[in-house]
Amino acid sequence: MARIVGGITTSHIPAIGNAIAKNLRDDPYWKPFFDGYPPVLEWLDRTQPDVAIVIYNDHGLNFFLDKMPTFSIGAAQEYRNADEGWGLTPLPPFRGAPELSWHLIEGLVAEEFDVTSCQEMLVDHGFAVPVSLLWPDRTTTAPEGQIRTIPVCVNTVQHPLPSPKRCYKLGQAIGRAVASFPEDLKVVVIGTGGLSHQLDGERAGFINKPFDLMCLEKIVDDPESLIDLSIHDLVREAGAQGAEFILWMAMRGALQGQVTKLHGNYHIPISNTAAGLLLLENAA
Amino acid sequence: MRQTPHAEQAPIPGTTIFDGRMAMKGYALNKMCFSFNEKANRDAFLQDEEGYMDRYGLNEEQKQAVRSRVVLAMIAAGGNIYYLAKLAGIFGLTVQDVGAQQTGMSVEDFKAMLVEAGRH
């Protein structure tokens, strides 16, 4: 049977993609950020997951306001990255895992999460940056040796956004669906985005370190203490785009075993954002 | 449990909630900015800004906001920051530049404020 071996949370700021492309890992601005990742890469190397379920938000590459699904899931052999308009060079396509995708879709709809299934789905920096951070050799690896991925996209562009509780429950349903997949697969769930940041308005540049640190602590051992936050609470406390924390909550919901924090990092600022990283092991 | 709509909650200073009301108001502006994912469209905008705005049916408030390059005016006209970022990219502006403009700070001061946020 398939099982979820762990969860990882990471920010997905576009500037990170630029720093990777320009190899700025040792630059003084970037070093405290990139230095957080080697323990996670070592764990991935040791654990060798077969599939990554990547929970992210589209920022206006695949979806526009004409049709804005609250939850959508990729069900394709591969996912293409493309020009987002402000300078990141598109990356080679990401390998899919369509059989597990359809199993997730079946399981989620059976549990009353009426997701949008996507057989074609452009993935933007919200998906691509975390995969590049966690599998830095992907683009130089033959496709059959690359991590297989399933994009799970949550609307954080146009309110109303799904609540932290709803996203946590979505994660729980993903966890149950993975556990009922007959193939013997190791699955890692990635929650992307966050932590506190705001790009728009007179409050642009807003960062809330005490709130972030509280979330980083509670999400490990007491995630249910966070599910009654409203989206309005998140926007107020974490900034307009800090509401992406709902993606972390979805990741956490998928971990239903014994959860142990193996590693974490928190650094301010990367671009306009407080960058957070967590590695959570999920034991049976 | 019902989530209380943002419009019925205490406003968050300096923050516009991009809800259905704003999404309807800003549709043409955001649709134009969404087109900037493609280089050919960015080039077409640069060649004939007014003609390009007409083609997407921007209203006068939206056109004036784009002409002025004032991001707060674009947001007031219904612009969503993720789409506006694609417009800003045409002019080579980063999110720090955009943040500085909205807060009335120099880019250096805005960056220093972000660094300061990490100290406490």
CA A189 – CA A279 distance, rounded (Å): 10
Whether residue B80 lies within 8 A of chain A, CB to CB, comes out as: yes
Range of the domain at A33: 3-283
* Residue with token string 């379920």: A53
A154 sits in which H/E element: strand A148-154
Alpha helices, H only, chain A: 14-21, 31-34, 38-47, 98-110, 125-134, 164-179, 209-221, 231-238, 245-254
Q: How far is A126 from chain B (nearest CA, A)?
A: 12
pLDDT of residue A284: 83
Residues in chain B within 8 Å Cβ distance of A85: 36-37, 42, 85-86, 89-90
Domains in chain B: boundaries: 19-92
Among B13, B23, B72, whose Cβ lies nearest the Cβ of A158? B23
Superfamily holding B19-92 = Dioxygenase LigAB, LigA subunit (1.10.700.10)
| Domain count of the fold of chain A | 1
CA A108 – CA A177 distance, rounded (Å): 7
Residue of A nearest to B21 (CA): A159
Residues in chain A within 8 Å Cβ distance of B12: 203, 232, 235-236
Domain with residue A221: its CATH number is 3.40.830.10
Question: Radius of gyration (Cα) for chain A, nearest Å?
Answer: 17
Residues of A belonging to the active site = 125, 197
pLDDT of residue A39: 98
pLDDT of residue A62: 98
Q: Could you say which DSSP state residue A150 is in?
A: E
* Residue with token string 């997407």: B56
Q: How far is A265 from chain B (nearest CA, A)?
A: 13
Q: pLDDT digit of tens for each residue in chain A (284 aa)?
A: 999 999 999 999 999 999 999 999 999 999 999 999 999 999 999 999 999 999 999 999 999 999 999 999 999 999 999 999 988 999 999 999 999 999 999 999 999 999 999 999 999 999 999 999 999 999 999 999 999 999 999 999 999 999 999 999 999 999 999 999 999 999 999 999 999 999 999 999 999 999 999 999 999 999 999 999 999 999 999 999 999 999 999 999 999 999 999 999 999 999 999 999 999 999 98
Hey, what are A267's tokens? 């650094």
Residues in chain A within 8 Å Cβ distance of B114: 205, 207, 268-269, 272
| Cβ contacts from A onto B, under 8 A | 140
Among B16, B42, B115, whose Cβ lies nearest the Cβ of A201? B16
Q: Are B15 and A87 in contact (CB < 8 Å)?
A: no
Residue B67 to residues A189, B53, B61, B74, Cα–Cα distance (Å)? 44, 10, 10, 10
DSSP A221-276: H-GGGTTT--HHHHHHHH-TTGGGHHHHHHHHHH--SEEEEEEEEEEEEETTEEEE
pLDDT of residue B9: 87
Q: Are B31 and A203 in contact (CB < 8 Å)?
A: no
CA B86 – CA B45 distance, rounded (Å): 12
> What is the identity of the amino acid at A186?
K
Best of B18, B86, B114, B120 to substitute, by most chain A Cβ atoms within 10 angstroms, is B114
- pLDDT > 70: what percent of chain B? 98
Q: Is residue A73 helix, strand or coil? A: strand
Residues in chain A within 8 Å Cβ distance of B82: 59-60, 157
pLDDT of residue B1: 55
Q: Are A272 and B114 in contact (CB < 8 Å)?
A: yes
CA A192 – CA A178 distance, rounded (Å): 19
pLDDT of residue B2: 65
Name residues whose C-beta falls within 8 Å of residue A161's C-beta, 6 or more positions apart in sequence.
A70, A154, A155, A231, A243, A246
Q: Are A158 and B71 in contact (CB < 8 Å)?
A: no
Interface of A with B (CB under 8 A): 15, 59-61, 64-66, 82-87, 157-160, 163, 165, 198-207, 209, 230-232, 235-236, 240-241, 267-269, 271-272, 274
| Tens digits of residue pLDDT in B23-58 | 999 999 999 999 999 999 999 999 999 999 999 999
- ∠ at Cα A245 (A191, B9), nearest 5°? 155
Q: Could you say which DSSP state residue A279 is in?
A: E
pLDDT of residue A28: 96
